Every structure is written in structure tokens, then in C-alpha cells.
Amino acid sequence: MHIVVCIKQVPDTADVKIDPKTNTLIREGVVSIINPFDMYAIEESIRLKEKLGGKVTAITMGPPQAENALREAISMGVDAGILVSDRAFAGSDTWATSYTLAMALKKIGDYGVIMCGKQASDGDTAQVGPGIAAHLDLPQITYVRKIEEISADHVVGERLLEEGTEVIRAPVPCVLTVVKEINEPRLPSLKGKLAAKKAQITHWKADDLKAEKGNLGLDGSPTKVVKIFTPPARQGGQIFKGEPEEIVPQLVEKLKDAVIAAAS
């Protein structure tokens, strides 16, 4: 099976700090990493390949530097990387992003399972995976935490809903989005690192996709960001310290009404 895993390069939020004075993001020196959820998608793709045979291609839409993300995926065991990059994609919202990725997938053609992370840690929408499924008119299983069964023509996945676990069977091709619980991503092997260094990354531009220009980038995006701001900092709260026997009743007094209100 040809498994295609969609990955996004994001700023490492473990590095992101807030400037306490200006209450803005300090981005200097923040490195770019593969979106944490996509690491699970990569790992699962490699495991499926190990079971079924075939190959795994990683694809990303992003700036030229996103090539690093593809090489990292290859170092883990992915076979090939495709970078979809063009100024024409600037300002893509999730509609245009999922359209662009869907057109790239059409160009790939023989995809079986399309694997995505649950959501990206910067845009945070969780809309691109189902968006790809919609553009390609494929079935989807979102929030997958376990793949119970996979063959050339179907997949059985377990997904975590708010109130329990659902097991779903879908025909292949289909789109899966995965959560953290699904696996423990492997570290790159030495052989993998060498392969990553040597790998030829395929570059596709807008013209390489049979895309309608009007559907790309800003023009293809129905949503417009009109304002970005940092949330108001929470007021520093009231701190109690001292003997437990003294401070606990004080806190209970403060909270009692809110607890009663919350219960009703």
C-alpha cells in the first residue's frame, strides 16, 4: 500500500515563552519542529508499511525550510518526501490548505491510507484532515487511537470520543487523523539519518498541481484573519500561605458559593 502522511512544520511551543512585560510571544530563537501530532502519524504510517509492505510518502505544504521536516520524517523510516511550496499558497486557510494537499494527493494518485495528525499546534483547527477527505470525497476516521486491522482494502480504527471509544471500519482509500495515544514515535536510526541526508525531495509548485488558481492561497480562502492579539494576562491571584489549618478554611469560604453555583 502507498501510505501518504501529511505533516506540518510548526514553531516548537516548548520553546515559546511569553514576555511578561509586553505579554507577547517571544519567538526569537524558536526552532521549527514537526507538529507533535504528526510524529504519531509518521510512526503509524511506518508501522503499517512494516505490516503490509509498500511505501510511505510524507508530504508538506510550507516554506522551503519545511524540507527539513521531510528529511526528519525520512530519517525515521519514511521512503520519500514531497514539498509543496509556492508564493501562490500564501494566506491559505484550512479550505485552501486542504484543497492544495488534496490536489497534490491526486497527483500522487495511488494513495491508500492518508494519515494526518489530530491537529497542528499552531493553527490548532483540526480541520485539514477532514478537509482533505471532503475534497477527495473519501471516508474518514478522526481521532484514531488504535488501528485494529488493516489490509489492502479496508482499515478498522478505534477512535476516542468524549464519552467512550468507537470502532469503525472504513474502506481504503480513506483519511485517518491520529491522537497521541496511538503509539510511541521511534527515534531516527543511523541508517535513517544517512538516507535522510541523501534523499531527493520532490518539489511541487502551484503549476505542477492541476489546481484552479482561484482556489489557492488568499484568493481561495473564505476566512480572513482581521486581528491578532495576545490574550489579556490573567490577574495575579490571591496567594494563601501559612498553616494548612488556617488557609484551607479561608479558601473554602472563597470558593463555597462558586461550588454551589457550579453544582446547580
Which one of 39, 62, 74, 75 is in contact with ligand FAD (CB under 6 A)?
62
Backbone dihedral angles phi then psi of residue 48, each to the nearest 5 degrees: -65, -40
Q: Does 161 bind other proteins (CB under 8 A)?
A: yes
Residue 139: is the preceding peptide bond cis (ω within 30°)? no
**Cα(157)–Cα(165) distance, rounded to whole angstroms?**
10
Instruction: Assess 126 for contact with ligand FAD (CB under 6 A).
Output: yes
For 204, the enclosing helix (H) or strand (E) is strand 202-204
Contacts with other proteins, 11-50, as mask; x by CB under 8 A: x-xx-xxx------x-xx-x-----xx-------------
Q: Which is nearer to ligand FAD, 42 or 199 (CB)?
A: 42
Of 131-150, which residues contact ligand FAD (CB under 6 A)?
Answer: none
Please work out the total of residues on this chain that contact other proteins, with binding judged by CB under 8 A: 105
Take residue 97 and report the three cell numbers written for it: 490548505
CA pair distance 176, 171, nearest whole angstrom:
11
Q: Which residue is nearest to ligand FAD (CB)?
A: 123
Distance CA 13, CA 18 (A): 11
Residues of span 42-61 touching ligand FAD by CB under 6 A: 60-61
Taking only Cα atoms into account, the Rg of the chain, rounded to an integer number of angstroms, comes to 22
67 scored as a contact of ligand FAD (CB under 6 A) = no
Report the alpha-carbon distance of residue 238 to residue 249 in Å, rounded.
14
In the complex with ligand FAD, the residue whose CB is nearer, 82 or 199, is 82
Q: Which is nearer to ligand FAD, 36 or 173 (CB)?
A: 36
Please list the residues that pair with 59 across neighbouring strands.
Answer: 6, 82
Residues in the site for ligand FAD, rule: CB under 6 A? 6-8, 14, 35-38, 41, 60-62, 92-95, 97, 101, 116-117, 119-120, 122-129, 223, 225
